[in-house]
Amino acid sequence: MRPEKLVMKALQKAHSPLTAEEVAGRIELDGGGGIDVTRVAHILHQLERSGSVAPLGGGRFLALRERNLVAGRLSMNRRGFGFVSTPLGDIYIGKKEAGGALHGDTVAVRLDPRKTREGRAGTVVQVIERGLTELVGRFERHGKLGIVVPTDPRIRGDIFIDLATSTVQAKPGEIVVARITRYADRRDAMQGVITKVLGTEDTPGVDVEIIIHEHGLASEFPEEVIEAAEALSQDVEGEIARGRHDRRDLFTITIDPADARDFDDAISLEREGGGFRLWVHIADVSHYVPWDTVVDVEARHRATSVYLVDRVLPMLPEHLSNIICSLNPGQDRLTFTAEMLLDKTGLVEQYLLYPSVIRSDRRLNYDEVQGWLDGGGFPDDGIERLIRDFRTVAEEIHKRRIVRGALDFDTVEARVELDDAGEPVDVALRSRTEATNMIEEAMILANEIVARHMTAAKAPMVYRIHEDPDDDALSRVAVILKEFGYPIQDMHGASPRTFQKIVAFAHGRPEERLINSLLLRALERARYVEYLGPHFGLASEAYTHFTSPIRRYPDLIVHRLLRAQLTESLNKPPTADMVPELAWLAEHSSTMEREAEAAEDESQKLKLVALMARHLGEEFDGIVTGVMGFGLFVQLENTAEGLVHVEAMTDDYYRFDAERFMLWGENKGLTYRLGQQVRIRILEANVAERRLDFEMA
């Protein structure tokens, strides 16, 4: 029998994912002769390309029921449809084509030869791996039968609970967590057991707990992970004796938000000749968290820290994230340093990358640094000299990025402020400042230096790429820009410089925030990959994430790869064991990043809606951010967004002009269009659904 058929036979008989080593072992046990593991791995990748097997995490493969399928993760939309992320791009899945798959499942898709309005479409024909094992929902009781109705609208179908065998008792109306014991098929509904009662919806903290469970985020560390982390300790002098560079004599500072609890980057700066020597020091988490240790497996699963409105879900236990890895002032800390010699124009003339030891001299925050830059009052001459020189260096680095085409959006971040009971009291709007830009420029430069270094070394690597915008998305933006009178004829194949011109033209205009938002939405999402690719937004040919290993798993991977490259140990364990996993690690990190961002946004929106619920009937100024046939979306100054439904627009009969993104009154001729400033009144605030309804004032 041909080797390809032997491999497929072994996978099909297993009915479960196997690694290349396991496939080779099963072939030998079945009397198929010995096939080298390397040969089996090669065949598996060939079968993957032909759509006969699907790759899963950890180097595992699963046989598909049909040939010529594509596999990927399913992301459902709240309106019932979804997309499967595949190597061919996103595949649209209609409501009736999901085949019983749930949000987060890894699925196999049969492509539809016809192209739909949403692009390439397909039908789910096989659930390869379940991404959802439990869900959160509202408990209801019907006689001896219990039902959990998912709070997440992306999950279609209720879960039925056998109350006779349930060990956890819940009351009707309570929010519970249910573990799925049987998935739905054509004959039976989803079944499960209640594992935890969160409380009623108005119980403090339950609203955010719902979001945590909806996005499958880990909120507590297993005991063995905490114990392993707390057993770790520093040996600074021993590390220096083993060759780590001692940089404790450098004047070093951290600059972070005022409410930051962990500090994973610090900078030192000195004048040298006509230019500057800049040191970017990054917490050396990889020293404490080697590949495949119990702490690493947990960090890998989480992939990122999550910053919710009322709490942080850290990637690493507190002993690591806030104590021995955090670059706290006055404490010796192990770091990885990017040392760069820059000329007066911000050009890097030389660089060095090495493990180091630092001692941060001062912890500064963005607000105080910006205050000193605006009005003086520096605490001492040393701080003033460093901050003013740092501003000069950052400005020159920034100029070089802009010249090559990098994008700079003037974004506003809204953070809802809570009282001790978790109730919203205000909204703080945070804009970019010189202080935040200074740190950002230093970190971008360090990330690029590391990416270029690893590229030149032809070493295995995880990169951060940002692909060119989709032409259809650009065409939609072009229509809106023309409606605003922007001097843009065609956005097809737009370069970063085109985006630069639009951002510059919008600066200071009433619609500036809207235009920035539209442009950002038109861009593809940046993601992690194991191959070199350009970053559109930064106009960079090689970029990575190296500067935040306390809170991002890809940065931790990059530290391990960089250290192994510098010590010529890439082909030795444990790094050699990690390298074959880079593709799925990058994909998993990208997926978890999206889930984290969605959860963060939803937690902010939840509290923002709760805050606006106290202002029912009150009037506010806003700007039209969306125009649909069913109404207008209006954003207020504090970033709260709501819908003015056409049914609430009783002064006229309004028609929708899809080409001009406009509603116009048939009788009085009044028009509403994107970017228009309006005054609204708050009609309703549904906190559970995170929804605001407005009417025109």
% of the chain residues with pLDDT over 70? 99
Q: In the structure, what pLDDT confidence band is assigned to residue 509 with cuts at 50, 70 and 90?
A: confident
Last residue of a domain, one of 90, 106, 129: 129
β-strand partners of 150: 137
Same domain as 511, residue 539:
no
Does 339 have pLDDT greater than 80? Answer: yes
Identify whether 460 is preceded by a cis peptide bond (ω within 30 of 0). Answer: no
CA distances from residue 103 to 83, 185, 519, 542, 591 in whole angstroms, order as listed: 10, 15, 27, 33, 12
Does 366 have pLDDT greater than 90? Answer: yes
d(CA 144, CA 161): 9
Q: Among 587, 571, 589, 588, which Cα is nearest to 579's?
A: 571
Q: Examine residue 205 and state whether it is found in any structural domain, yes or no.
A: no
β-strand partners of 655: 664
- Residue bearing tokens 């057993």: 231
Same domain as 370, residue 354:
yes
Does 165 have pLDDT greater than 70? Answer: yes
Token output for 136: 């959160």
Mean pLDDT, to the nearest integer, of 452-467? 97
Same domain as 510, residue 397:
no
Does 118 have pLDDT greater than 70? Answer: no
Q: Among 601, 598, 588, 600, which Cα is nearest to 553's?
A: 588
Q: In this structure, what CATH number is given to the domain that contains residue 32?
A: 1.10.10.10
Does 25 have pLDDT greater than 80? Answer: yes
The pLDDT, as a whole number, for residue 32 is: 59
Q: Among 338, 238, 230, which Cα is nearest to 283's?
A: 338
Does 202 have pLDDT greater than 70? Answer: yes
Q: Examine residue 95 and state whether it is found in any structural domain, yes or no.
A: yes
Same domain as 557, residue 623:
no
Q: Write down the mean pLDDT value for the chain.
A: 91
Token output for 13: 């008989």
Maximal C-alpha separation, the chain:
84
Same domain as 567, residue 432:
yes
β-strand partners of 9: none
* Residue type at 70 in one-letter notation: V
CB 406 within 8 A of CB 503: no
- Count of alpha carbons within 13 Å of 418, Cβ hemisphere only? 19
% of the chain residues with pLDDT over 90? 63
Q: ∠ CA 607-609-614 to the nearest 5 degrees?
A: 100
**0.85 surpassed by pTM:** yes
Q: Among 587, 556, 694, 605, which Cα is nearest to 308's?
A: 605
State the DSSP code for 58.
G
Token output for 77: 């939309």
Helix (H, G, I), strand (E, B) or coil at 156: coil
Q: Which residues contact 562 (CB under 8 A, 6 or more apart)?
A: 336, 353, 450, 453, 454, 546
Q: Examine residue 217 and state whether it is found in any structural domain, yes or no.
A: no
Q: Which residues contact 522 (CB under 8 A, 6 or more apart)?
A: 469, 470, 473, 474, 476, 477
Does 644 have pLDDT greater than 70? Answer: yes
Same domain as 147, residue 101:
no
Same domain as 477, residue 443:
no
Same domain as 460, residue 345:
yes
Q: In the structure, what pLDDT confidence band is assigned to residue 90 with cuts at 50, 70 and 90?
A: confident
CB 125 within 8 A of CB 144: no
Q: Which residues contact 426 (CB under 8 A, 6 or more apart)?
A: 416, 417, 611
The pLDDT, as a whole number, for residue 661 is: 84
The pLDDT, as a whole number, for residue 476 is: 81
Same domain as 350, residue 431:
yes
Q: Which residues contact 390 (CB under 8 A, 6 or more apart)?
A: 267, 269, 438, 442
State the DSSP code for 108.
E
Q: Examine residue 443 and state whether it is found in any structural domain, yes or no.
A: yes
d(CA 317, CA 142): 42
Q: Examine residue 18 and state whether it is found in any structural domain, yes or no.
A: yes
Same domain as 338, residue 448:
yes
pLDDT digits (tens, 9 = 90+) for 242-270: 999 999 999 999 999 998 888 999 999 99
Same domain as 90, residue 183:
no
pLDDT digits (tens, 9 = 90+) for 533-553: 999 999 999 999 999 999 999
Domain count, the chain: 6
The pLDDT, as a whole number, for residue 682 is: 97
- pLDDT: which is higher, 247 or 46: 247
- pLDDT: which is higher, 311 or 15: 311
Q: In this structure, what CATH number is given to the domain that contains residue 620?
A: 2.40.50.140
Q: Examine residue 339 and state whether it is found in any structural domain, yes or no.
A: yes
DSSP letters spanning 229-285: HHT----HHHHHHTT-EE-TTS-EEEEE-TT-----EEEEEEEETTEEEEEEEEE-H
Q: Where are the alpha helices (DSSP H) in 409-511?
A: 434-456, 471-483, 496-506
- pLDDT: which is higher, 504 or 342: 342
Q: Which residues contact 165 (CB under 8 A, 6 or more apart)?
A: 193
Last residue of a domain, one of 602, 629, 652: 602
Domain that holds residue 83: 70-129
Same domain as 438, residue 545:
yes
Q: In the structure, what pLDDT confidence band is assigned to residue 116 with cuts at 50, 70 and 90?
A: low
Q: Examine residue 608 and state whether it is found in any structural domain, yes or no.
A: no
Q: What burial class does residue 685 get, using C-beta atoms within 10 Å of its C-beta: 0-12 exposed, 13-18 middle, 19+ buried?
A: buried
The pLDDT, as a whole number, for residue 303 is: 97
In this structure, what is the dihedral angle of CA atoms 165, 170, 171, 177, given to the nearest 10 degrees?
Answer: -120
Does 1 have pLDDT greater than 80? Answer: no
Mean pLDDT, to the nearest integer, of 223-250? 96
CB 252 within 8 A of CB 267: yes
pLDDT digits (tens, 9 = 90+) for 414-457: 999 999 889 999 999 988 899 999 999 999 999 999 999 999 99
- pLDDT: which is higher, 586 or 1: 586
Q: ∠ CA 282-285-289 to the nearest 5 degrees?
A: 165
Which backbone phi and psi does 242 adopt, to 5 degrees? Answer: -85, 5
Of 129-133, 190-194, 307-311, 358-362, the one with minimum mean pLDDT is 129-133
Q: Examine residue 548 and state whether it is found in any structural domain, yes or no.
A: yes
d(CA 101, CA 19): 24
State the DSSP code for 558.
H
Which backbone phi and psi does 501 adopt, to 5 degrees? Answer: -65, -40
